[in-house]
């Protein structure tokens, strides 16, 4: 439907300038295209096939379309009017080029193109001449699309032998044939991933991956494969694997996918582009490859399910040491001190409640992951922080928690209207929701061992995904749970006292700082307007809390205050929906990477990465995000120090930085290829290396300098 609408709009724009039919001739010239009907022979022989071509020469910046025009457009069509017994085969299409028009991917031709057609006269062809007549229609586009047409006549003498055309014409046909894809020498298959997306496998054994610079698959028909999705092919000695995206066609899985595979190969005498027509039947036994790029990292080879569980548990434990989680854990430790002297059963219930809050949150996150994966096909760790709405709501949450710690209000049974019985159990409820808060603030962080476990979890069936995420949650909750069940550890905790209230009030400031941080993240996603919405919403929330603090008996004044407070809160949350319109404007004004410091770094792109690796220089890639505290800490303590900068300069390392603050399909695709689910991610190619090393998520200045200098010295 989207393709039809795009084409319909193009036609409506072009209506005032439609080209009128021309008288029949061998050359038709319009405002944008010179079209000519050519023959490879100057004399035909009865029964002997020969080739003709419709040559289209476009003005600069204009293009016509391939047999599958892509997301919009219409292919050139030729209707032949031939003498009795003379036949014309379908057009033999040359390899197209990918044409990106404002994000709409088209397949077509620019400059000069010959559309070859084989003509076969009968053996009993009568007469001294053969008259060929054709009506051709094409759509030529630039910033507008114009339907054009031409009527062509070409008369050729008939003799006892075929006479070739002049050398210039034959050269044109020879060049056109070289642009036609050849039949693939390799078998091909396609499978369907769990997301419903197809992936193509070409069994091209023996290829040298280091010589292949570009791979692209042009589907022969519209609908089965999404044209606008970026293709990230993997080439190994075993063949070629291309993850694709399901197209807009509503039909069931096709029995085969046909198209043209184009390769750019680097040889000793330069780069050569080759194209092959392939037909890939459906193979139900093919399994989707979760990590199509092989890389050496800190966790070893591909994980088994049990290894992933272990890594998830260990990663969750280490997550407690991450800067984003520490303020919440400090809050929980302070509240635990209050339990000193209480019954052992009450202490254990507190630990179980906190653990339940963590596990329920991870279970809900697993459900969200599965739902998004089923509908969209891609999901990553921390994906929710790429939404400005989520960033604003988390900023509100940190602000409200800070007000609570400062003593501005207490969550009591009276305030919440829940009754005295629930107020008596408020300690357990508080522990539960502290666990929820710990999970909310933990999602921007990636701890060691977590990356591999998450990459495994997000690519597996639902039971494995849920199990790995719950194991991670258990790791996060385990230290506090162990504390509540171990009297020996409890005796090491300090005694309660006045210091607890002071510590509680002090811990409000990390919450305020976290709220400020989330507002800063919001500005990177939406621009300066995000500050206005966030601060205005916080004022409204604080006003609502102030109104609700008045504890009077039921009266019209009480209900009025409650009504005004409810309106204030609704207005604050209404700002979240207003932010839905902001990201595009922010991106246009500030650029896609305004939230990350790029001084001294090049912006990441897949093309620049391939170019840098091919240059055989050392290459370092930093994938980061404004909402990733671990990323920002690593930059301060390891990547932007004087010694590390000197090491980068001394070794001639190419430094690329990818900003994932907002959604970036190119970065997301590479994360998936590497089996990773989020940032930070650090890749390092020593000089001349074909595969990257994945560095740990926690960097130090010493480790960075050692990595850079040791590889440099090994090359000397």
In sequence order, what DSSP letters do the residues of 32-64 get, joined into one string?
SEEEEEEESEEEB-TT--EEEEEEEEEPTT-EE
**DSSP character string of 401-430:** HHHHHTTS----HHHHT--HHHHTTHHHHH
67, two tokens? 């047999």
Residues 527/585, Cβ–Cβ less than 8 Å? yes
* pLDDT, greater one: 305 or 681: 681
Worst-scoring range by mean pLDDT, 118-127, 461-470, 536-545, 649-658? Answer: 461-470
376, two tokens? 């969209």
**DSSP character string of 510-542:** HHHHHHHHHHHHHHHHH-THHHHHHHHHHHHHH
Name the residue among 491, 472, 476 with its Cα closest to residue 347. 491
Say whether pLDDT at 699 is over 60. Answer: yes
Residue 252: partners with Cβ closer than 8 Å, 6 or more residues away = none
| The CATH number of domain 183-281, selected from 2.40.160, 2.60.40, 2.30.29, 1.10.3470 | 2.60.40
Residues 202/278, Cβ–Cβ less than 8 Å? yes
- Its sign, for the CA torsion 607, 588, 671, 70, is negative
Helix axis angle, 450-457 to 305-319, nearest 10°: 130
Q: Given this chain, do its domains 2-169 and 183-281 carry the same CATH topology?
A: yes
The predicted model gives 589-617 an average pLDDT of 73
The predicted model gives 517-533 an average pLDDT of 73
Say whether pLDDT at 117 is over 90. Answer: yes
Say whether pLDDT at 16 is over 50. Answer: no
288, two tokens? 């989707």
Q: What is the structure's pLDDT at 65? A: 94
Q: What is the structure's pLDDT at 426? A: 46
CA distances from 403 to 59, 324, 414, 417 (A): 66, 19, 18, 19
Percent with pLDDT over 70 in the chain: 73
Most confident range (mean pLDDT) of 22-26, 204-208, 284-288, 652-656 is 652-656
* pLDDT, greater one: 114 or 433: 114
* pLDDT, greater one: 147 or 308: 147
The domain spans of the chain are 2-169, 183-281, 297-584, 602-715
pLDDT grade for 228, boundaries at 50, 70 and 90: low
Q: What is the structure's pLDDT at 10? A: 46
User: Taking the domain 602-715, which CATH number applies?
Assistant: 3.40.30.10
Please state the pTM of the whole predicted model: 0.44
pLDDT grade for 613, boundaries at 50, 70 and 90: confident
pLDDT grade for 17, boundaries at 50, 70 and 90: very low
Q: State how far the Cα of 567 lies from the Cα of 338, in Å rounded to an integer.
A: 36
The predicted model gives 477-482 an average pLDDT of 85
Strand order across the 87-88 sheet: 27-29, 33-39, 50-58, 112-120, 87-88
Map 627-673 to HEC letters.
CCHHHHHHHHHHHCCHHHHHHHHHHCCEEEEEECCCCCHHHHHHHHH
Place of tokens 């997550």: 319
pLDDT grade for 648, boundaries at 50, 70 and 90: very high
Worst-scoring range by mean pLDDT, 280-289, 353-362, 378-387? Answer: 378-387
Q: State how far the Cα of 307 lies from the Cα of 471, in Å rounded to an integer.
A: 11
Q: Which CATH superfamily is domain 2-169 in?
A: Immunoglobulins (2.60.40.10)
Q: Mean pLDDT over all residues of the chain?
A: 77
Map 545-559 to HEC letters.
HHHHCCCCCCCHHHH
CA distances from 14 to 19, 103, 339 (A): 10, 21, 77
* pLDDT, greater one: 530 or 40: 40
Q: What is the structure's pLDDT at 339? A: 65
Q: What is the structure's pLDDT at 670? A: 78
pLDDT grade for 315, boundaries at 50, 70 and 90: confident
Say whether pLDDT at 163 is over 80. Answer: yes
The predicted model gives 186-198 an average pLDDT of 84
* pLDDT, greater one: 481 or 44: 44
Q: What is the structure's pLDDT at 154? A: 94
Q: State how far the Cα of 217 lies from the Cα of 196, in Å rounded to an integer.
A: 18
Q: State how far the Cα of 507 lies from the Cα of 50, in Å rounded to an integer.
A: 85
* pLDDT, greater one: 251 or 68: 68
CA distances from 545 to 427, 536, 539, 563 (A): 21, 15, 10, 12
Name the residue among 497, 518, 513 with its Cα closest to residue 389. 518
Name the residue among 397, 395, 400 with its Cα closest to residue 579. 395
The predicted model gives 458-473 an average pLDDT of 78
Computed over its alpha carbons, how large is the radius of gyration of the chain? 33
**β-pair type (693-694, 296-297):** parallel
pLDDT grade for 11, boundaries at 50, 70 and 90: very low
Burial 52-85 (b: 16+ CB within 10 A, else e): bbbbbebeeebbbbbbbbbbbbbbbebebebeee
Residue 227: partners with Cβ closer than 8 Å, 6 or more residues away = 68, 70, 71, 105, 106, 107, 219, 247
The predicted model gives 607-626 an average pLDDT of 86
Q: How far is CA 592 from the centre of its chain?
A: 14
């Amino acid at each position: 439907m989207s393709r039809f609408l795009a084409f319909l709009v193009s036609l409506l724009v072009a209506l005032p300038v439609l080209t009128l039919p021309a008288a029949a001739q061998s050359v038709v010239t319009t405002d944008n295209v010179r079209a000519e009907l050519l023959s490879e022979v100057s004399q035909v022989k009865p029964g002997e096939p020969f080739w003709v071509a419709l040559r289209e020469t476009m003005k600069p910046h204009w293009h016509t379309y391939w047999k599958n025009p892509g997301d919009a457009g219409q292919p050139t069509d030729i209707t032949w009017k031939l003498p009795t017994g003379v036949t014309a085969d379908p057009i033999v299409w040359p390899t197209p080029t990918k044409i990106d028009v404002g994000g709409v991917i088209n397949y077509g031709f620019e400059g000069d193109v010959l559309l070859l057609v084989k003509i076969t006269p009968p053996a009993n062809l009568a007469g001294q001449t053969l008259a060929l007549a054709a009506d051709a229609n094409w759509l030529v586009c630039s910033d507008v699309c114009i339907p054009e047409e031409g009527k062509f006549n070409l008369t050729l003498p008939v003799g006892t032998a075929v006479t070739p055309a002049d050398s210039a014409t034959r050269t044109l046909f020879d060049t056109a044939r070289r642009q036609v894809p050849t039949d693939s020498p390799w078998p091909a298959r396609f499978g369907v991933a769990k997301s419903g997306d197809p992936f193509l496998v070409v069994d091209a054994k023996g290829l040298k991956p280091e010589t292949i610079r570009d791979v692209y698959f042009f589907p022969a028909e519209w609908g089965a494969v999404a044209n606008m999705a970026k293709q990230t092919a993997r080439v190994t000695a075993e063949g070629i694997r291309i993850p694709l995206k399901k197209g807009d066609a509503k039909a069931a899985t096709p029995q085969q996918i046909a198209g043209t595979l184009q390769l750019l190969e680097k040889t000793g005498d330069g780069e050569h582009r080759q194209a092959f027509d392939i037909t890939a039947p459906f193979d139900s036994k093919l399994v989707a490859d979760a990590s199509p790029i092989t890389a050496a990292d800190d966790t070893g080879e591909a994980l088994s399910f049990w290894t992933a569980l272990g890594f998830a548990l260990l990663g969750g434990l280490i997550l407690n040491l991450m800067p984003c989680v520490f303020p919440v854990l400090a809050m929980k430790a302070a509240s635990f001190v209050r339990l000193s002297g209480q019954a052992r059963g009450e202490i254990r219930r507190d630990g179980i409640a906190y653990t339940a809050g963590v596990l329920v949150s991870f279970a809900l996150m697993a459900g969200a992951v599965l739902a998004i994966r089923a509908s969209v096909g891609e999901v990553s760790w921390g994906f929710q922080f790429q939404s400005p709405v989520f960033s604003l709501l988390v900023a509100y949450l940190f602000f409200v928690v800070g007000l609570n710690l400062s003593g501005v209000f207490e969550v009591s049974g009276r305030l919440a209207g829940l009754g005295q019985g629930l107020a008596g159990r408020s300690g357990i409820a508080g522990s539960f929701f502290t666990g929820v808060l710990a999970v909310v603030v933990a999602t921007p962080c990636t701890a060691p061992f977590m990356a591999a476990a998450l990459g495994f979890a997000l690519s597996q069936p639902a039971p494995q995904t849920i199990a790995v995420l719950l194991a991670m949650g258990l790791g996060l909750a385990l230290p506090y749970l162990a504390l509540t069940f171990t009297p020996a550890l409890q005796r090491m905790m300090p005694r309660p006292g006045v210091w607890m209230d002071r510590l509680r009030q002090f811990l409000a400031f990390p919450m305020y700082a976290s709220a400020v941080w989330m507002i800063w993240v919001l500005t990177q996603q939406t621009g300066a307007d995000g500050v206005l919405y966030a601060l205005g919403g916080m004022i409204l929330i604080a006003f609502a809390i102030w109104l609700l603090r008045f504890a009077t008996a039921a009266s019209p004044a009480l209900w009025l205050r409650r009504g005004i407070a409810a309106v204030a809160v609704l207005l604050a949350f209404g700002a979240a929906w207003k932010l839905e319109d902001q990201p595009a404007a922010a991106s246009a004004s500030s650029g896609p990477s305004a939230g990350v410091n790029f001084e001294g770094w090049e912006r990441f792109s897949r093309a620049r990465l391939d170019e840098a690796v091919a240059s055989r220089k050392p290459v370092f890639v930093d994938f980061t995000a404004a909402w990733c505290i671990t990323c920002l800490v690593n930059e301060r303590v390891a990547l932007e120090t004087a010694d590390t900068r000197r090491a980068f300069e001394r070794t001639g390392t190419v430094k690329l930085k990818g900003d994932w603050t907002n959604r970036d399909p190119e970065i997301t695709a590479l994360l998936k290829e590497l089996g990773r689910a989020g940032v930070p991610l650090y890749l390092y190619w020593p000089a001349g290396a074909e595969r990257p090393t994945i560095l740990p998520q926690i960097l130090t200045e010493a480790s960075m300098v050692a990595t850079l200098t040791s590889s440099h010295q090994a090359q000397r």
